[in-house]
């Protein structure tokens, strides 16, 4: 690893060791393409494991991570860069690693990152998605779900069960109490009525 | 109007004719007999939408042997009487399920497995699955459980057979009667991209393309 | 224009009908040579066959704007064929043969999509056929001192065996080339597929039959089937000669059938199918038995009807759509329903299915094979028949069923009436020959008598009699129609409502929705599976083209070698030529 | 004769359906299941006939199953069912073995037209697989039939049955031909290892993909009629026909059970494997049998 870090130092980059098998390099967006190219061609990182995207909503950034491996498969180097969240555009890496094509398609669909040089930026898992990309943190899943798929009217499944049971028990108790009261009131009313009728009869 | 829909009700016209000739009683007996045969022979297209797909092989093979009740699997929706939807449905799946359901020939029935088609189950707050299946297509029997064991699935079959035998009103009749309700709901979640859109007849384009 | 030539085509038929029977005309050219026309039952049969075919094709040519000299050439061709089938001696025969070759050559060269290579192929093979014919004629003249059929036939028995064999082989090669036996079929496919569309029907239906007529003439008239039996020994219940010829025919039939399945061009498929069907005829023509000859004649008739029907049908579709490949056609059934029904009847006949005439002829040929106990030949014919279902289905599916594969097909109109009328007549003929197979017996019996063979028994117009089993065409046809109507009525009474003519994209496609861009037509996928079967692949991967190309290449090289001799040095060349001739001289002196 | 034809069709319908019920039961028992009732195929067919609607892609689609059923019925009445009685003799004497060989293919070819009209590529794929398989499947069967025809010197089935009364059964005289014909029959009954056209795992149930309701029911019914006709043909050719109803049932059942026992233990061949196999071993067996017929009587 000393080897790689010395090579990277020539490019004025710092290799951060996360653990024995995981290293991180942070690069600027404008250098990304050339550095990835040198990772592939000069340092022998022939495998692109994944491209990850992290939504840093607070800083207004997307943090993109390219996970790379050599032929030996003994460690992973994460090449990290940040892009603007509002105008998220990245160069496509499918010319370096063909598997990047499908990973970038997924990223485009889930985060709305645009790849101008990508050959086939079509639907990946979703079909005809018209809303905000669902993995963005400002996408309110609950609100979206409730607007698209309301719960069943008959059952309040979105309520807390304990509270609900307590409420129901109380409701039941109240209903029972009310019924008893009503019954008593009725009885009383009958008792009241009877003398009246008698009184009427008497009249 | 979808091409899978054939509105005219032949049954009622036949009934009228028979009643006129004083044979309504025979018709009723015939109908009963046919219902019995329908209940004894159910061709299933098993649509493995979710985790429940794994419960269907044991249901149909040696251990639980659904064939002894006349329940047999077929490959195409054209031949099927019953579609089993086994688990949660993503919007993408729902589009195919509606298409498959509309390609089935009447009378047709729907059985769903698990709690997801009832209320979304553990995927209730997912941005990509539906919560209430019966908003989009009518469901005849819900078999609950997460997932239901093959015994429960067979119990679902028995329940469905009872209903067919008694000539109860089934889901497909509700679907035909409340078509607008179902279509509106489907349009709401599928965003106007409902297939199939066969309004124009490609083969009669010079006649204005009316099918 | 069309109607004038239509009349001109009717005239010889009327003439033959009015004055036929004992037509005998002869003109003497010099003291030794006379040209004679003699009407035999065999010739009459082929004459009617070709004349009626020409008439029907001329009817369908009405909607094509053809020039006057095209019609004139076609008429000349018809005249040439009439000369061939009525010829009483070989000079007349050869004159007819040459006129046929050249007039058809000019018609083919008028086609829009002909290339020089195919034309060269056609004329080269035609010339080869003519050369081998004239060689045989000259050899027979040197023994018989006459060109007359009867004289040659009489003196044939006294010829030495090797001359007899040479004659038979030379004549056979000539006529095999015309009929397109495998190996000599190199010109057939290209010519049939690149000739003018309607003219292909004449090439396949009539001109190839001239080869069959020639074979009948040689085996039946000149040599005689009895003589063949004496010349070559017998094997099982037939002759050695017939057995060899049958294997040639069966091999032709099987190989051409498999080749036909893999074709993408419609007319190429039909051309290969034509080769395969003629293979059947060649297989039974040498049996020398009543059923063999009857089967060959019957199949000649049926094949003429079917190929006319199919080629006219296909020509109409090509003229209407401008497409001639299965990968460009498809889904025409609702646009051209009458054409579809005609093609359907044609392929049922081609496949040899029972209610139509195709079965009757095949039945006759199979019976011939049983009679002679040629079991393997019979199996070969049955096998080729089973494989032919595939190309029959490809033909009807690729053009009419499935989905349209190119634009414009979905708004196609029905083909013009002038194309349909001959097709309807031919389809009716096919149905009639299927229902009344016995009627043909009366046509065949005089020919059998001409070959001094036993006549066929006649048991009624609907029954085809044979030594090993009968077949009542009328019963089967009527039972088929009756049951068909009965089941149709029953099914249409069932209350399960059929939603008619639903959109053709509404197919069960695993939940997906196909669109116009989805490739749904399976037409050009046909035959790829065959490449994975070892036996069939062994047939498919070989081609006569490689042999002939190599031959052409070697010829070219050797001629280059010869020419180099000259260009090198004139003195050396002279010396070599001198040495060569002196060597020849010495060899001649010494022997 | 019409009464006899109706009687025969009813008999074939019932026997065919019960045999298929039996087949499903035997299959279930071999797989360790209980299996459906023996009348299950009846239920299926009545249910399909009583379906409320059916898709139809046009007139050729409508006529295809009917052509197929016509072919089956015609095959049935041309096969002599009882060897000694005059039952339907007037009809059976009108045809011969070659007519039957071709009639057996007429129906499927008619149905193939309907499949093509339906326009489903899976259906056409099934048809093409079926026709390709037919190249291999017909070969041993043809050789066996040709061997019998040459041995009897007649293509008349009645004559072949009569020959067996005096000369002994063909199964004993020509065992090799019988074996070859039986291997082909396994394919004609759509059993493994030759069940290629309608493989649901590969081509979505093949030629039947688009058929529903009454068309599917008609196809099932004609299937049972056709199966019965094929069984009777086999016992006519090799087992000397049947002189009573009981013998008929006994002999056809024996053949049918043999075929399904072969079918249940094998997996499915690919098309090219099936044709390759059929062109090698069964063809060789049949050719040996044929050589015996030609040279040793």
Report ipTM for this prediction.
0.84
Mean confidence (pLDDT) of chain C: 89
Least confident of B152-156, C371-375, D288-292: C371-375
Q: What is the pLDDT of residue C530?
A: 87
Mark which residues 34-53 of B lie under 8 Å from D by CB.
34, 37-38, 40-41, 43
CA angle A46–A50–A52, rounded 5-degree value: 140
pTM of structure: 0.88
Q: What is the pLDDT of residue B143?
A: 93
B40/D43 CB distance under 8 A: yes
Question: Per the structure block, which two tokens stand in for C570?
Answer: 């004139």
Please give the domain boundaries of chain B with CATH numbers for all domains: 10-203 (3.40.50.12280)
CA distances from C31 to A165, C87, C152 (A): 129, 19, 18
Question: Each residue of C180-200: b (16+ CB within 10 Å) or e?
Answer: bbbebbbbbbbbbbbbbbbbb
- Pairing of the two strands B141-143 and B109-113: parallel
CA angle C527–C530–C535, rounded 5-degree value: 145
Least confident of B8-12, C237-241, D18-22, D138-142: B8-12
Residues 6+ apart with CB under 8 A from A52: A64, A65, A67
3-state secondary structure of C235: strand
CB D232 within 8 A of CB D225: no
User: Which among C334, C502, C511 has the least Cβ separation from residue B100?
Assistant: C511
Kindly list the residues of chain A whose beta carbon comes within 8 Å of any beta carbon in chain B: 125-128, 130, 134, 139, 141-142, 144-145, 148-152, 155, 157-158
3-state secondary structure of A95: coil
Q: What percent of chain A has pLDDT over 70?
A: 92
Query: Is A83's pLDDT higher than 50?
Result: yes
Region C544-550: mean pLDDT is: 89
Kindly list the residues of chain B whose beta carbon comes within 8 Å of any beta carbon in chain C: 3-4, 6, 8, 10-11, 14, 76-78, 96-97, 99-100, 103, 195-196, 198, 201-203, 205-206, 211
Question: Which of A124, A136, A145, A154 to substitute to test the interface with B, most B CBs within 10 Å?
Answer: A145
CA distance to partner chain B, nearest, from residue C411 (Å):
7
A141/B130 CB distance under 8 A: no
Kindly list the residues of chain D whose beta carbon comes within 8 Å of any beta carbon in chain B: 24, 28, 31-37, 40, 43-44, 46-47, 50-55, 200, 204-205, 208-213, 216
Does C497 contact chain D (CB < 8 Å)? yes
Q: Is the peptide bond before B107 cis (omega within 30 degrees of 0)?
A: yes
Instruction: Calculate the CA C124 to chain-centre distance.
Output: 19
User: Which among D32, D54, D209 has the least Cβ separation from residue B76?
Assistant: D209
CA C398/CA C394 separation, integer angstroms: 5
The third-level CATH classification (topology) of the domain covering A2-150 is Beta Polymerase; domain 2 (3.30.460)
| B16 chain-C contacts, CB cut-off 8 A | none
B189/A152 CB distance under 8 A: no
Least confident of A11-15, D11-15, D23-27: A11-15
Does D55 contact chain C (CB < 8 Å)? yes
Question: Each residue of A46-73: b (16+ CB within 10 Å) or e?
Answer: eebbebebebeeeeebbbbbbbbbbeee
Q: What is the pLDDT of residue B23?
A: 61
CA distance to partner chain D, nearest, from residue C532 (Å):
6
C508/B206 CB distance under 8 A: no
Does C539 contact chain D (CB < 8 Å)? no
Q: What is the pLDDT of residue A203?
A: 45
CA A189/CA C500 separation, integer angstroms: 73
Tens-place pLDDT, residues C214-250: 999 999 889 888 888 888 888 878 888 889 999 999 9
Region D198-223: mean pLDDT is: 87
CB A157 within 8 A of CB B119: yes
Residue with tokens 């069939």: C536
Region C109-131: mean pLDDT is: 91
Residues 6+ apart with CB under 8 A from C392: C347, C350, C351, D109
Interface chains of chain A (3 or more CB pairs under 8 Å):
B
Interface chains of chain D (3 or more CB pairs under 8 Å):
B, C
Picking from C254, C224, C212, the residue whose alpha carbon sits closest to that of residue C377 is C254
CA C450/CA C446 separation, integer angstroms: 6
Chains C and A share 3 or more Cβ pairs within 8 Å: no
Tens-place pLDDT, residues A24-78: 999 999 989 999 999 999 899 999 999 999 999 999 999 999 999 999 998 999 9
CB A149 within 8 A of CB B120: yes
User: Which among B67, B68, B107 has the least Cβ separation from residue D52?
Assistant: B107
- Look up the domain containing D259 and give its range: 2-296
Q: What percent of chain D has pLDDT over 70?
A: 100
Q: Would you place residue A10 in the very low, low, confident or very high pLDDT band (cuts 50, 70, 90)?
A: confident
Q: What is the pLDDT of residue B8?
A: 39
Intra-chain end-to-end CA distance of chain B, in Å: 11
Q: Would you place residue B201 in the very low, low, confident or very high pLDDT band (cuts 50, 70, 90)?
A: very low
Q: What is the pLDDT of residue C427?
A: 95
C506/B4 CB distance under 8 A: yes
Mean confidence (pLDDT) of chain D: 89
Picking from A167, A146, A155, A134, the residue whose alpha carbon sits closest to that of residue B115 is A155
Q: Is the peptide bond before D148 cis (omega within 30 degrees of 0)?
A: no
CB D54 within 8 A of CB D212: yes
Chains B and D share 3 or more Cβ pairs within 8 Å: yes
| B130 chain-A contacts, CB cut-off 8 A | 149
Region C62-91: mean pLDDT is: 90
Q: Is the peptide bond before B147 cis (omega within 30 degrees of 0)?
A: yes
Query: Is C261's pLDDT higher than 80?
Result: yes
CA distances from A168 to A42, A155, A183, C76 (A): 70, 13, 22, 105
CA C245/CA C176 separation, integer angstroms: 11
Torsional class of C37: left (φ above 0), alpha (ψ -120 to 50), beta (otherwise):
beta
Q: What percent of chain C has pLDDT over 90?
A: 49
CA B147/CA D126 separation, integer angstroms: 36
Q: Where are the beta strands (DSSP E) in A70-112?
A: 76-84
Domain ranges for chain A:
2-150, 159-197
CA distance to partner chain B, nearest, from residue C267 (Å):
27
Under DSSP, the state recorded for D84 is S
CA C567/CA C545 separation, integer angstroms: 32
Question: Per the structure block, which two tokens stand in for C453?
Answer: 């063979």
Region A69-96: mean pLDDT is: 92
The partner residues of D25 in beta bridges, in order of sequence, read none
CA distance to partner chain C, nearest, from residue D93 (Å):
8
Region D217-241: mean pLDDT is: 92
Does C150 contact chain D (CB < 8 Å)? no
| B95 chain-A contacts, CB cut-off 8 A | 127
A144/B189 CB distance under 8 A: no
Interface chains of chain B (3 or more CB pairs under 8 Å):
A, C, D
Mark which residues 22-41 of D lie under 8 Å from C by CB.
none
Residue with tokens 């008439």: C55
CB C302 within 8 A of CB C433: yes
Region C347-355: mean pLDDT is: 90
Higher pLDDT, C23 or B71: B71
């Amino acid at each position: 690893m000393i080897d790689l870090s010395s090579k990277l130092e020539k490019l004025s980059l710092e290799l951060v060791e996360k653990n024995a098998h995981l290293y991180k390099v942070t690069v600027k967006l404008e250098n990304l393409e050339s550095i990835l190219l040198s990772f592939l061609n000069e340092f022998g990182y022939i495998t692109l494991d994944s491209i990850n995207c992290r939504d840093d909503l607070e800083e207004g950034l997307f943090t993109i991570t390219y996970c790379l491996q050599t032929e030996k498969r003994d460690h992973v180097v994460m090449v990290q860069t940040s892009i603007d969240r509002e105008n998220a555009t990245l160069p496509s890496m499918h010319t370096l690693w063909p598997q990047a094509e499908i990973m970038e398609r997924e990223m485009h669909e889930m985060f709305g990152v645009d790849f101008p040089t990508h050959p086939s930026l079509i639907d990946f898992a979703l079909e005809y998605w018209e809303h905000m990309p669902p993995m963005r943190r400002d996408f309110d899943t609950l609100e979206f779900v409730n607007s698209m798929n309301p719960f069943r009217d008959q059952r309040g499944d979105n309520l807390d069960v304990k509270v609900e049971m307590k409420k129901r028990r109380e409701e039941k108790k109240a209903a029972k109490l009310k019924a008893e009261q009503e019954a008593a009131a009725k009885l009383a009313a009958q008792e009241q009525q009877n003398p009246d009728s008698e009184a009427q009869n008497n009249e | 109007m979808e091409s899978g829909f054939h509105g005219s009700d032949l049954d009622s016209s036949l009934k009228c004719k028979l009643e006129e000739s004083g044979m309504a009683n025979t018709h009723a007996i015939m109908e009963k007999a046919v219902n019995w045969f329908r209940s004894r022979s159910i061709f299933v297209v098993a649509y493995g939408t979710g985790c429940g797909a794994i419960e269907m092989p044991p249901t149909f093979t040696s251990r639980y042997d659904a064939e002894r009740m006349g329940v047999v699997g077929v490959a195409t929706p054209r031949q099927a009487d019953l579609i089993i939807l086994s688990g949660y449905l993503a919007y993408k799946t729902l589009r195919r399920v509606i298409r498959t359901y509309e390609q089935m020939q009447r009378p047709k029935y729907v059985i769903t497995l698990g709690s997801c088609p009832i209320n979304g189950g553990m995927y209730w707050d997912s941005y990509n699955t539906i919560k209430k299946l019966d908003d989009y297509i009518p469901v005849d029997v819900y078999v609950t459980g997460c997932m239901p064991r093959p015994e429960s699935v067979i119990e679902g079959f028995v329940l469905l057979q009872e209903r067919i035998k008694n000539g109860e009103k089934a889901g497909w009749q509700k679907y035909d009667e409340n078509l607008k309700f179902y279509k509106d709901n489907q349009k709401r979640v599928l965003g106007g991209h409902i297939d199939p859109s066969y309004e124009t007849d490609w083969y009669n384009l010079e006649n204005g393309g009316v099918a | 224009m069309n109607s004038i030539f239509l009349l001109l085509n009717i005239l010889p038929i009327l003439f033959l009908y009015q004055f036929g029977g004992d037509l005998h005309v002869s003109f003497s050219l010099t003291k030794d040579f006379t040209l004679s026309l003699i009407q035999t039952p065999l010739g009459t049969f082929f004459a009617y066959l070709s004349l009626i075919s020409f008439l029907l094709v001329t009817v369908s040519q009405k909607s094509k704007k053809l020039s006057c000299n095209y019609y004139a050439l076609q008429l000349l061709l018809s005249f040439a064929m009439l000369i061939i089938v009525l010829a009483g001696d070989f000079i007349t025969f050869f004159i007819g043969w040459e006129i046929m070759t050249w007039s058809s050559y000019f018609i083919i060269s008028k086609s829009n999509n002909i290339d020089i290579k195919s034309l060269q192929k056609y004329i080269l093979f035609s010339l080869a056929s003519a050369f081998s014919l004239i060689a045989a004629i000259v050899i027979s003249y040197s023994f018989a001192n006459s060109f007359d059929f009867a004289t040659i036939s009489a003196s044939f028995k006294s010829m030495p065996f090797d001359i007899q064999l040479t004659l038979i082989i030379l004549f056979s090669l000539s006529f095999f080339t015309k009929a397109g036996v495998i190996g000599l079929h190199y010109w057939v496919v290209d010519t049939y597929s690149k000739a003018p569309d309607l003219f292909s029907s004449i090439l396949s239906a009539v001109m190839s039959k001239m080869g069959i007529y020639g074979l009948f003439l040689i085996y039946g008239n000149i040599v005689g089937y009895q003589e063949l039996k004496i010349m070559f020994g017998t094997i099982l219940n037939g002759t050695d000669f017939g057995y060899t010829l049958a294997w040639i025919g069966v091999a032709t039939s099987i190989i051409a059938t498999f080749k036909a399945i893999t074709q993408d061009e419609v007319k190429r498929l039909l051309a290969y199918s034509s080769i395969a069907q003629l293979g059947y005829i060649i297989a039974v023509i040498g049996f020398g038995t009543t059923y063999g000859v009857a089967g060959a004649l019957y199949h000649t008739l049926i094949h003429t009807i079917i190929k006319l029907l199919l080629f006219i049908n296909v020509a109409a579709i090509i003229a209407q759509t401008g497409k001639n490949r299965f990968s460009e056609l498809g889904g025409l059934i609702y646009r051209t329903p009458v054409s579809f029904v005609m093609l359907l009847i044609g392929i049922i006949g081609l496949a040899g299915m029972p209610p139509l005439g195709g079965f009757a002829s095949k039945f006759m040929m199979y019976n011939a094979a049983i009679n002679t106990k040629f079991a393997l030949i019979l199996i070969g014919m049955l096998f080729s028949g089973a494989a032919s279902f595939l190309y029959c289905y490809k033909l009807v599916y690729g053009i009419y069923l499935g989905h349209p594969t190119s634009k414009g097909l979905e708004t196609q109109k029905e083909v013009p009436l002038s194309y349909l009328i001959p097709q309807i007549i031919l389809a009716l003929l096919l149905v009639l020959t299927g229902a009344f197979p016995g009627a043909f017996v009366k046509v065949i019996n005089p020919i059998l008598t001409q070959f001094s063979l036993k006549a066929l028994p006649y048991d009624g117009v609907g029954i085809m009699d044979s030594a090993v089993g009968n077949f009542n065409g009328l019963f089967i046809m009527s039972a088929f129609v009756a049951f068909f109507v009965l089941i149709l009525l029953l099914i249409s009474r069932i209350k399960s409502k059929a939603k008619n003519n639903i959109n053709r994209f509404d197919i069960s496609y695993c939940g997906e929705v196909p669109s116009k861009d989805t490739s749904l037509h399976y037409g050009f996928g046909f035959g790829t599976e065959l490449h994975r079967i070892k036996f069939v692949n062994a047939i498919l991967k070989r081609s006569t083209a490689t042999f002939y190309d190599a031959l052409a290449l070697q010829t070219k090289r050797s001629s280059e070698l010869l020419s180099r001799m000259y260009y090198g040095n004139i003195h050396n060349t002279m010396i070599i030529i001198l040495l060569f001739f002196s060597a020849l001289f010495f060899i001649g002196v010494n022997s | 004769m019409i009464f006899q034809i109706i009687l025969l069709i009813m008999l074939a319908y019932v026997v065919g359906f019960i045999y298929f019920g039996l087949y499903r039961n035997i299959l279930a028992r071999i797989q360790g299941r209980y299996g459906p009732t023996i009348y299950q195929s009846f239920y299926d067919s009545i249910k399909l006939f009583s379906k409320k609607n059916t898709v139809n892609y046009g007139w050729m689609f409508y006529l295809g199953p009917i052509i197929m059923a016509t072919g089956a019925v015609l095959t049935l009445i041309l096969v002599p069912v009882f060897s000694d009685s005059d039952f339907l003799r007037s009809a059976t004497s009108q045809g011969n073995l070659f007519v039957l060989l071709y009639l057996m293919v007429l129906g499927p070819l008619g149905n193939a037209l309907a499949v093509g009209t339906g326009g489903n590529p899976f259906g056409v794929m099934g048809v093409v697989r079926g026709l390709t398989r037919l190249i291999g499947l017909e070969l041993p069967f043809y050789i066996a039939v040709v061997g019998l025809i040459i041995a009897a010197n007649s293509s008349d089935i009645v004559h072949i049955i009569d020959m067996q009364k005096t000369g002994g059964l063909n199964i004993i005289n020509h065992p090799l031909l019988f074996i070859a014909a039986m291997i082909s029959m396994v394919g004609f009954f759509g059993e493994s290892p030759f069940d290629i056209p309608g493989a649901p795992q590969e081509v979505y149930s093949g030629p039947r993909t688009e058929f529903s309701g009454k068309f599917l029911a008609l196809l099932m019914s004609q299937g049972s009629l056709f199966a019965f006709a094929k069984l009777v043909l086999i016992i006519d050719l090799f087992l000397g026909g049947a002189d009573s109803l009981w013998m008929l049932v006994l002999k056809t059942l024996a053949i049918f059970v043999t075929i399904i026992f072969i079918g249940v233990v094998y997996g499915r061949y690919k098309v090219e494997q099936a044709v390759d196999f059929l062109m090698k071993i069964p063809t060789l067996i049949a050719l040996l049998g044929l050589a015996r017929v030609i040279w040793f009587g």
